[in-house]
Structure 1
């Protein structure tokens, strides 16, 4: 069995932007540049390895999940 000690290209940070995009652990990680977008599926891959979902949820490169920060089920009530 061969074990590769190099990081996977999908996980390795490959941001060549100036200034550099925020790291996946930074509070402003969503400001990174999209490298792949799939609006029909509701997600985008950012150059810092974060998968950003349409509902504002996120999947970080290390597998952590950040839940959505905006409500998706909004109830509208009539005002009198």
Structure 2
């Protein structure tokens, strides 16, 4: 799907979120990347094969 040079990482790559955004719908909370990955505002992801990556926001530091 990617026609960029250099090509974007595949949806199976650890750096998959570095792919270019081809459709953005901030009002709905999601974007489509050129590697067919759907990323959500809560940091969850939907892979092209239907697998789900749970949200992975960094945990806030505990205040003492």
> What TM-score comes out, normalization by structure 1 length?
0.71
Number of aligned residue pairs: 62
Task: Choose between structure 1 and 2 for higher RCO, CA contacts under 8 A separated by at least 6 residues.
Answer: 2
Greater strand share, 1 or 2?
A: 2
Gaps of 5+ in 2: none
Gaps of 5+ in 1: 1-13
Does the alignment pair 1:64 with 2:51? yes
Q: 1:23 — aligned with what?
A: 10
> What TM-score comes out, normalization by structure 2 length?
0.88
Greater C-alpha radius of gyration: 1
Moved over 6 A (4+): none
